[in-house]
Amino acid sequence: MTGVLPITLEDSTKVVQAFLYSGKEYICVMKLHGDAEEIRIRRVLTEFEDEIFQRPPLRSSVKRQLRTRRIYFINYIETDGRNVLFRVGCEGGTYIRKLCYDVGEIIGVGAHMQELRRTRAGPFSEDSKTHVTLHDVAYYFGEWQEKQDPKILRKFIQPMESAFGLIPKIIVRDSAVDALCHGANLTAPGVLSVESHIKKETVVAILTLKGEAIALAKANMATEEILNLNHGTVATLERVLMPRGTYPKVWKSGNK
């Protein structure tokens, strides 16, 4: 497989979890094991645009148990002999080679994945201005070693907050930051603003007023409920991202 691969460095490895909840897009070449009409191929591909059941293939990094994944779209591009080219947008964790196998079974001739290119992973895509190749990285790193100019690093290293482009966000007061850094769950008094598309049990990014990442959390309620809440827990922390002491401590600890 080729294409987009987000790479995290040092403490930013903590945000890898954010990519698990972000969608992916691929360009795939599917090899049919027999002849099939284009109209039949198109019809079968559209049948998979929904929530589907998948059991990971034998050679996979996860347990082989039946699970559901959502296919947002499949756009047929062209057919060359028995090679079918299509673009697919899907939920993270979808196995495209298993998708090709299932499509081949429905068509009735069998199929396998011949080639795959990831064109988007979460908020990062091949069309992004921040997209760099390994050759770019090698060039910029060599330039940085020579000049020791921090601005050069920004040409190929982005702040970890850029990973949250597709994740709903909650902005909190400065007074709540250090408590969150110590693992406290987010409560209503600490909330300043909330994005409109938060649903219960979805993963959210908790940020400061400056847009700095504090933590990843799971929402306990939808946006409308959060806005009408005066007290109580809004979100349960999943992963703390900001070091303790970055913001001053203004919360009181219990008596020993």
Give residue-wise pLDDT tens across range 65-103: 888 999 999 999 999 999 999 999 999 889 999 999 999
Tokens of 203: 């993963």
Query: What are the distances in angstroms from CA 231 to CA 71, 74, 188, 214?
Result: 38, 44, 5, 21
Of 198, 189, 185, 194, the C-alpha closest to 229 is: 189
Asked whether the beta carbons of 33 and 104 are under 8 A apart, the reply is yes
Output the CA torsion sign for 209, 210, 216, 219: positive
- Of the CA atoms within 13 Å of residue 45, those in its CB half-sphere come to 25
Q: What is the pLDDT of residues 206-224, one digit of tens each?
A: 999 999 999 999 999 999 9
User: In terms of pTM, does the model score above 0.85?
Assistant: no
CA distance 155 to 222: 37
Residue 256 has what pLDDT? Answer: 44
Helices (H), the chain: 16-19, 38-47, 96-107, 134-147, 150-153, 174-181, 223-227
Output the CA torsion sign for 39, 44, 47, 49: negative
CA distance 178 to 169: 18
- Of the CA atoms within 13 Å of residue 232, those in its CB half-sphere come to 10
Instruction: Name residues of the chain where pLDDT drops below 70.
Output: 20-21, 60-62, 251-256
Residue 217 has what pLDDT? Answer: 93
Q: How many CB atoms lie within 10 A of CB 187?
A: 17
Tokens of 74: 């499949």
Domains and CATH numbers, the chain: 23-121 (3.30.70.3190), 168-240 (2.30.130.10)
Q: How many CB atoms lie within 10 A of CB 103?
A: 22
